[in-house]
Amino acid sequence: MAKIFTVKQNDYDQNSINSAVKKIFSYFGGIERYVKKGDDVLLKANMLSANEIAERVTTDPSVVRAVAIEVINAGGKPAICDSPGLDKFSSVAKKSGLAAVAEELKIPCEELTAPAELPNSKTAMFRKIEVSKKALDADVIINLPKMKTHGQMVLTLGVKNIFGAVVAQRKAEWHYKVGLRRDMFASLLIDIYMGIKPSFTILDGVWGMEGRGPANGTPRNFSLLAGAENSLTLDFHVCRLLGLPLEEFPLWQAAKLKNLPETEISDDELAGDFSHPFKFENADIPKFSSLRVMPKFPLIEPLLTSKPVQDLKKCIQCLRCVEICHARAMKINKNGVKLDFDYKKCIRCYCCHEFCPKDAIDFKDGLILKVLKFLGR
């Protein structure tokens, strides 16, 4: 049996999605392998922000609904959960269509709250991590990520979705603690994933996002649903499907440094409608800054990384970027229109870009990074 099962699914027709989800679980022996009667099952959707369904920022409600029904049929008690970084949970739940699913099925749709200390895995780099107690108390977690690009981490798939178990603004605190080191942030993501260890992951890539993800990119119909018991393995195979070499994926680099066996993947691990050597054509994968795997050199730093800049034509002065910036690296200037950036404080986490509702944060490459990109054409 392969480790990942894929289904070609062109749209979100509910009956068709129901069949596809059932097919994925059946390949691994059925939902009953993971959910027993009476189990509290946390459905960890991607509920990043309050966006309309058609913007493809959040996990599609049809996928969440299909999984919830499978859980109910197995005798489990599902709850749709996440912890948005900025927008109110109620607004995200409503706009994403997930509140309506919960109401229809008479199941909870709850914000992940109440931080509690995460048990350390053997390979953990970070010794004290707090996540929602609801995630720790759940009998079963089914991970339901959205297939998207990501400004800082290149791709956000199964492992990155579990970062949502970190409560609200504590996400920004972690960005600040880790700083520019994408390799360290990737290691943090793995530590959280290994501590929570969801029982199963179903990736919603029917419609995903490319370009300036995870919120301001371009929706694309990838027609992919993928299921796996191991989110790391799933992420690495999807990375290859998108045409990104594993060596350029921060998550794979961090897993390699931890000597995790999931980094050794083979073509026969992928089964179903998408198999090796299939690749999506011309996937727009972001390359906003260098991969920081070296010590910090203040004089060279500006030349190696991309810095955020304001697009005045798009900006509506909502100040969400200022609010989300834990490094306090930006403020509105006296005229109340233009943002002033303090690039000495900026940690290049790109949260300002991620949470901007109008895609009004652009990027300007440092000189060395410009040269490297030019030579890599």
Residue 305 included in any domain: yes
Summarize the confidence of residues 126-148 as an average pLDDT: 96
Give yes or no for residue 290 having a pLDDT over 80.
no
Q: What is the mean pLDDT of residues 20-40?
A: 98
Give the pLDDT confidence of 48-71 residue by residue, as tens digits.
999 999 999 999 999 999 999 999
pLDDT for residue 376 is more than 60: no
- Please name which of 82, 234, 96, 73 lies closest in space to residue 171, comparing C-alpha atoms: 82
Radius of gyration for the alpha carbons in the chain, expressed in angstroms and rounded: 20
Who has greater pLDDT, 29 or 121? 29
Residue with tokens 């301001």: 216
- Residue with the bigger pLDDT between 179 and 248: it is 248
170 vs 128: CA distance, rounded Å: 13
Domain of residue 344: give its range.
301-375
pLDDT band, residue 336 (cuts 50/70/90): confident
Residue 278: inside a domain: no
Question: How deeply is 168 buried, as exposed, middle or buried, from its count of CB atoms within 10 A (0-12, 13-18, 19+)?
Answer: middle
Same domain for 306 and 268: no
pLDDT band at residue 302 under the 50/70/90 scheme: low
Greater model confidence, 271 or 317: 271
| Whether 48 and 126 share a structural domain | yes
Domain identity same for 106 and 217 = yes
Identify the CA nearest to 175 among candidates 3, 53, 346.
346
CATH number at residue 244: 3.40.50.11440
Q: Which of these, 322, 241, 225, lies nearest to 278 by C-alpha position?
A: 241
Look-up of token digits 């100040």: 319
Bond before 214 cis per omega within 30 degrees: yes
Say whether both 239 and 326 belong to one domain. Answer: no
Percent of the chain with pLDDT over 70: 91
Tell me the average pLDDT of the chain. Answer: 90
Answer with the residue of higher pLDDT: 138 or 375.
138
Within a domain: 366: yes
Q: Which residue has the higher pLDDT, 54 or 179?
A: 54
Let me know whether 206 and 337 are in one domain: no
What phi-psi label fits residue 307: left (phi over 0), alpha (psi between -120 and 50 degrees) or beta? beta
Same domain, 232 and 307: no
**What CATH number does residue 319 fall under?**
3.30.70.20
The number of distinct structural domains making up the chain is 2
pLDDT score, position 5: 98
**Helices (H), ranges, 121-228:** 133-137, 158-161, 170-178, 182-196
* pLDDT value, residue 310: 92
Residue 255 and residue 319 share a domain: no
Residue 180 has pLDDT above 70, yes or no: no
**By C-alpha distance, which of 144, 129, 246 is closest to 188?**
129
pTM, to two decimals: 0.90
pLDDT at 374: 41
Q: pLDDT tens digits for 75-89?
A: 999 999 999 977 999
Q: Considering all CA atoms of the chain, what is the largest pairwise distance in Å, rounded to the nearest integer?
A: 63
- 318 shares a domain with 226: no
Tokens 């897993």, residue?
A: 255
Q: Where are the beta strands (DSSP E) in the chain?
A: 4-8, 40-45, 77-82, 109-111, 115-117, 130-132, 140-144, 146-150, 154-156, 200-210, 218-228, 270-272, 306-310, 330-332, 339-341, 361-365
Tell me, yes or no, whether 345 lies in a domain.
yes
